[in-house]
Amino acid sequence: MASDLSKVGKRDELKARREPYWQRLRAGCYLGFRPSQRGGAGTWIARAYDADAGKYRVKSLGDFGTLVPNERFAAAKKEAERLAELVEAGGEVRRKIESVADACREYGKTRNDGEGRFKRHVYDDAIAKVKLDKLRRHHVRDWRKRLEEKPSLVSRNKEGDKRTRDRAAATVNRDMAALRAALNTVLAPGTPNTEAAWQEALVAVPNASKRRTLYLDKGERRKLLEHIEAEAAPFVRALCLLPLRPGALAALTAGDFDKRTSELTIGEDKAGRERRIVIPADAATLLTAQSANKLPGAPLFMRGNGKAWDKNNWKLPIAAAVTAAGLPSAATAYTLRHSTITDLVAAGLPLLTIAQISGTSAEMIERHYGHLASDAAVKALGELAL
């Protein structure tokens, strides 16, 4: 007969015996109680079914003697359920995804770009604590409004002053896309035009993406390198040689570069998947020097303090070099990526190949650089004329 172990009086009526009295909590999860033969508090036992092994796992939980009798069942039940989760997950405790923050953390485990956005815009916001089953359109709409009103950080000088600008619609779209993707993994879209339609507040701003028009030619990039501070020079030079995102370049380790084959593995990128590329001779020479005498896990491009570069560190030296070289003030690390991709397109390299090297889609290359490919084709046809 099943026992009701939740009531103190019922437990007190149980006779002492070797076999515990069991109460089923749910399928495959049981809580047991063995009364003490000497009048003590008794012992609690958890039992969980291991489907892989085809048998039950049993664990003694102790007597919970520090708690008052009417609190011991709840404490023991919690431990028994925790054991069941551990066993069912194959030895790993599965985190319950209950709130918006939980959904974002789970999604961010495999998507570094998304996790970075969640840290900046979700975890410290009121929406983080909203339970998924309570999430409504107004919660997301209010979060979006706060996001749109949040200024974007342009730079911070050495005295700590900040320069900001209004958040661009394209930036808002990227931040919203990360949250939308995280919620889509755990929530179905709500009924349209109702408060349950949380997804409606995350619709992207149309036509927000603008073509990057600021281009630094090779001469201007050489001027930039002439004025960059020594510590940042290898990192910035690599940006001038490879069409990688600054964050992806900064995340590289010494073990990602194989000097024997001149192959570079890019594992942490907005593209979301690992890729290998063969790099040109100048870049290979630079990376060979940067990887010398470093452990495989060490940053390939290392700052003076031994840490990897990040956007808060590379902004200042690049901005200072841009000013000293007399280059357009809007030039940034991303300008170097755009300039390198522009040169590759203008040189006639297939757009699909450029997309694979730079870690973006052929559609994006076509959208932003397709006109250059057309110009290159016209030039090539002109050279064929008699």
What's the Cα-to-Cα distance from 352 to each of 342, 349, 357, rounded to whole Å? Answer: 14, 9, 9
CA angle 37, 41, 46 (to 5 degrees): 95
The residues spanned by each domain of the chain are 8-88, 100-202, 218-384
Provide the CATH number for the domain formed by 8-88 in this structure: 3.30.160
CATH architecture of 218-384: Orthogonal Bundle (1.10)
pLDDT score, position 378: 46
Q: What is the DSSP annotation of 302-346?
A: B-TTSPBP-HHHHHHHHHHHHHHTT--TT--HHHHHHHHHHHHHH
pTM of the model as a whole: 0.53
Residue with tokens 């490919």: 373
> What token pair was written down for 148?
């749109």
pLDDT score, position 95: 56
Residues 6+ apart with CB under 8 A from 230: none
Q: 5 with 31: CB under 8 angstroms?
A: yes
pLDDT digits (tens, 9 = 90+) for 150-202: 887 665 454 556 666 788 888 888 899 899 999 988 888 888 888 988 999 99
Q: 45 with 20: CB under 8 angstroms?
A: yes
Q: 275 with 356: CB under 8 angstroms?
A: yes
pLDDT score, position 220: 95
Write the single-letter amino acid at 375. Answer: D
Low-confidence ranges of the chain (pLDDT < 70): 1-2, 91-96, 112, 153-164, 207-213, 268-273, 370-386
pLDDT score, position 92: 52
User: Which residues in 273-313 belong to E strands, given as ranges?
Assistant: 275-278
Quote the CA–CA distance of 113 and 276 in Å, as a whole number.
Answer: 19
Examine domains 8-88 and 218-384 and report if their fold is the same: no
pLDDT score, position 155: 52
Residues 6+ apart with CB under 8 A from 378: none
Residues 6+ apart with CB under 8 A from 185: 103, 106, 107
pLDDT digits (tens, 9 = 90+) for 219-250: 999 999 999 999 999 999 999 999 999 999 99
Quote the CA–CA distance of 196 and 200 in Å, as a whole number.
Answer: 9
pLDDT score, position 382: 47
